[in-house]
Structure 1
Amino acid sequence: MRIGFSVPQFGPFADPDRTAGMCAALEALGCHALWVADRLLAPLTPAAGYPGGKPMPDRYGTHLDPLLALGVAASATTRVRLGSSTLGALWQPPLVLARALTTLDLISHGRLDVGLGLGWMREEYTAAGVPWRGRGARLEETLDVLDAVWRSERVVHSGPLWTVPESTVLPKPLQRPRPPILLGGFTPYAMERVGRRADGWLGASMPLPHLDGLWAVAAQAAERAGRDPAALRRVFRVNADVTKTDADPAETHHLGTVRQICEHLRAVCAAETDEVLVDLQLTTDSPQEFLDLASEFMAELA
């Protein structure tokens, strides 16, 4: 099992100097990866509500840009993988996105994992000037453009949304033929896309029957596309709500003591290549407690 933590970037952790120091400290604990998340805004009354039926956490209203925060993390570390879980894939043209991600791969000396998603909040699409309708097709073409930029010496693309005239786009990422691409999502369409196009899935800690049903869709799609499902990575995010006393066993996919949450994470990681991403930004405001809890999770999971 590979163990990752969130890059501190939200609420009281939205301070680049603090982010840099904490990323260095997390790497020193021996973790394998650090991951940024992405929020454009925090509407006062989101039309769809926050996933899970709870109010959106207040601290999501204060946030560092994910790509710049990843650059801070890259400069503060030397070994850990650096990824996004997930980056709003559609809020900028794919050629611009490719340039930023290439630069991050070079800054990090080939440590970048590109995690892309569609998000759930219509208000972010409205603010970015991007249509909500047709976002799945927009993601498919975004992936086409990224592949064209990263895999080809002469880059050309002509599609329904974007046209890239035959061009030279340099430099290329250090990782060849491109950095790994992982996709988020929890619908049948999203899971089919993971199996057909991605190097892995950015999932979440959840009850096992639900997880198994989702993963079956991706595995079957991979087989239909002539790909090996066992070669796909799985990264399970847990927005940990750590308690001092034992929680209801039905809730330990996100709530409970460090040991309870870790027991569930061990259960969902069925393959040796599975990874966990522990986000501690919702359970503490203290940098020291964040690092202390990270140390506990490392000791329990290692």
Structure 2
Amino acid sequence: MRIGLAVPQYGRFASPSSLRLVAQEAEAMGLDSLWVGDRLMTPLEPKDRYPGGDGAIPEEHGVFLDPFAVLSVAASVTSRVRLGSSALNACWYPPPLLARSLTTIDRLSDGRLDVGLGLGWSSDEYAAVGVPWRSRAARYEATLDALEAIWHSDPVAYSNELWTVAPSRIQPKPVGRPPLYLAGFSPGALQRIGRRADGWLTAAMPLSMLVPMWDSVRRSAESAGRDPEALRMVMRANPKITGKGRGTPPVSGTVAQIAGYLNEAAAAGVHEIFLDLQLTATDDQHLLKLAGEFRSHLT
């Protein structure tokens, strides 16, 4: 199982010094990947429940750095680790601009980018960027089609009711083909992942829920004539570290308890986990200490 870390991006960790230090130290301790998320704002009266915990948006999300800039800095201070997003809200960005930003990061990192995309959950954020909440799944599919055309055609020509890319040269291209991971838990999202992605971005959850969802992804891949064995499952874990006997893994618990769950998840099919410790660590050194402890417990 590969092990990654969410790099400093939000809350008390939203600083260049934290980002550079943690990215460099994570690579030095032998971690495999660094990850960012995508959050625009914290509505005072949100229309939608946050998909985690008690449904309230974490206070720490009130300060959130741009994911493209964070990945660019992480690329500049590392040389080996993969760089991923879990997940960019794909519908917020016009495809040519999204393709350019991701290609730039892939080039700056010598081909180390893992592209992770999702639909997001906040209709408030969609309204803020002027993108309709309705028909977002269709917009998502069209965005994926446009990215494929921009990255893998020369010249590029793409048109639908949303965007028109006249026959054009769009350079540079990514280094090879960046792996594409898609997030989501609905039946439609799982079907889409199996049909057109390289893997699934999931979250820590009871294995009794995780395994049937993964089986659904694999069945979708088979139905689409794709090899389900080629797909990868990447899990985000953002636990609260507590004292012994006070937690409920995978949401909370000691490092050993959370690691026990993650090792079970790996046995159930998870290929890579990455830890987001920004909601539980008190400072950079504490975050790195926890990351090291997890690495020693994970197999």
Q: Distance in 2 between matches of 1:107 and 1:17?
A: 20
| Pairing 1:56-75 to 2, within 5 Å after superposition | 56-75=57-76
Residue in 2 that maps onto 1:202: 201
Residue in 2 that maps onto 1:263: 260
Q: Distance in 2 between matches of 1:208 and 1:18?
A: 33
Residue in 2 that maps onto 1:37: 37
Q: Distance in 1 between matches of 2:55 and 2:139?
A: 29
Moved more, 270-279 or 198-207: 270-279
Deviation at 1:273, TM superposition (A): 6.9
Residue in 2 that maps onto 1:111: 112
Q: Distance in 2 between matches of 1:92 and 1:224?
A: 30
Instruction: From 286, 289, 294, give the equivalent of 1:289.
Output: 286
Percent identity (aligned): 52
Q: Distance in 2 between matches of 1:44 and 1:214?
A: 33
- Matching residue's letter, 1:93: P
Q: Distance in 1 between matches of 2:51 and 2:102?
A: 28
Q: Distance in 2 between matches of 1:282 and 1:243?
A: 12
Deviation at 1:246, TM superposition (A): 2.7
Matched, 1:21 2:18: no
Q: Distance in 2 between matches of 1:154 and 1:51?
A: 41
Q: Deviations over 1:188-240 (max 9, x none)?
A: 11100000010000001110111112112211110010011111011011111
Q: How big is the alpha-carbon RMSD for the aligned residues of Structure 1 and Structure 2?
A: 1.2
Instruction: From 269, 274, 281, give the equivalent of 2:271.
Output: 274
Residue in 2 that maps onto 1:225: 224
Deviation at 1:271, TM superposition (A): 6.5
Moved more, 268-277 or 126-135: 268-277
C-alpha distance 184-57 of structure 1, shift in aligned 2 (>3 A): same
**Matched-pair contact (CA < 8 Å) for 1:246–1:260:** no
Aligned residues: 298
- Length-normalised TM-score, structure 2: 0.97
Deviation at 1:54, TM superposition (A): 3.5
Matched, 1:150 2:151: yes
- Matching residue's letter, 1:239: N
Q: Distance in 1 between matches of 2:50 and 2:282?
A: 21
| Pairing 1:57-206 to 2, within 5 Å after superposition | 57-174=58-175, 176=176, 178-206=177-205
- Matching residue's letter, 1:61: G
Moved more, 265-274 or 159-168: 265-274
Deviation at 1:285, TM superposition (A): 2.8
Deviation at 1:272, TM superposition (A): 7.2
Q: Distance in 2 between matches of 1:179 and 1:105?
A: 8
C-alpha distance 133-78 of structure 1, shift in aligned 2 (>3 A): same
C-alpha distance 273-256 of structure 1, shift in aligned 2 (>3 A): closer
Q: Deviations over 1:142-170 (max 9, x none)?
A: 01111001111110111121111111111
- Matching residue's letter, 1:14: A
Q: Distance in 2 between matches of 1:151 and 1:271?
A: 34
Q: Secondary structure at the match of 1:35?
A: strand
Structure 1: segments with no counterpart, 5+ residues: none
Deviation at 1:244, TM superposition (A): 2.0
Q: Distance in 2 between matches of 1:160 and 1:300?
A: 51
- Matching residue's letter, 1:168: R
Q: Distance in 2 between matches of 1:92 and 1:183?
A: 16
Moved more, 71-80 or 11-20: 11-20
**Matched-pair contact (CA < 8 Å) for 2:7–2:23:** yes
**Matched-pair contact (CA < 8 Å) for 1:2–1:273:** no
Deviation at 1:186, TM superposition (A): 0.8
